[in-house]
C-alpha cells in the first residue's frame, strides 16, 4: 500500500503525480463550493490495470466522484463494509495507513466539552 500525505504546510510526503492530480480536483471542488474540508482518497491498482493512461485519468475520476451525491457512513464498521464492497484490499490496511481516519476517531466533539462544563 502506497500512502502519500500532505503536511500542515501543504507539502506531500512523496513526489507523486497521482496525488497532485487528485489534490487539484479536490481543491477545485472545495473552492467552487466555498468550503474547507479534509479528504481521503483511496485508489486501488490491480494487475488488470495494464495500460496506465496518465494522471489526467485520476484528476477526472476524482472530479466525477465529487460531482455525484456523497456517500455517508455513521461508523467505522459501515465504512469497512463499504470499502470491502468497493475494493479487493482489506479495509484494515486503509484504517492502519490513514492518519485522517485515526485522528477523526480520537477527535472530540464540541458538545463533549459542553457536557464537561454543564453548559448543555
pTM of the model: 0.77
* Residue pLDDT, tens place only, 4-47: 888 878 888 887 788 899 999 999 999 999 999 888 888 888 88
Residue 110's region, left for phi above 0, alpha for psi from -120 to 50, else beta, is alpha
Task: Indicate whether 89 pLDDT > 80.
Answer: yes
**Integer Rg of the chain from CA:** 17
State the burial class of residue 42 (Cβ atoms within 10 Å of its Cβ: 0-12, 13-18, 19+): middle
Residue 118's region, left for phi above 0, alpha for psi from -120 to 50, else beta, is left
Mean pLDDT (the chain) is: 84
Q: Give the other-Cβ count within 10 Å of 55's Cβ.
A: 16
DSSP 57-94: HHHHHHHHHHHSPPP--SSHHHHHHHHHHH-SS-HHHH
Which pLDDT score is estimated for 85? 94
Amino acid at each position: 500500500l502506497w500512502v502519500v500525505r500532505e503536511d500542515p504546510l501543504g507539502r506531500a510526503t512523496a513526489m507523486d503525480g497521482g496525488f497532485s492530480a487528485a489534490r487539484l480536483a479536490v481543491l477545485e471542488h472545495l473552492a467552487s463550493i466555498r468550503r474547507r474540508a479534509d479528504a481521503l482518497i483511496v485508489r486501488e491498482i490491480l494487475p488488470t490495470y495494464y495500460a496506465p493512461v496518465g494522471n489526467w485519468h485520476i484528476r477526472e475520476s476524482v472530479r466525477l466522484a465529487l460531482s455525484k451525491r456523497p456517500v455517508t457512513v455513521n461508523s467505522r464498521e459501515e465504512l469497512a463494509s463499504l470499502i470491502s464492497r468497493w475494493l479487493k484490499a482489506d479495509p484494515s490496511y486503509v484504517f492502519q495507513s490513514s492518519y485522517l481516519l485515526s485522528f477523526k476517531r480520537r477527535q472530540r466533539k464540541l458538545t463533549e466539552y459542553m457536557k464537561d462544563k454543564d453548559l448543555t
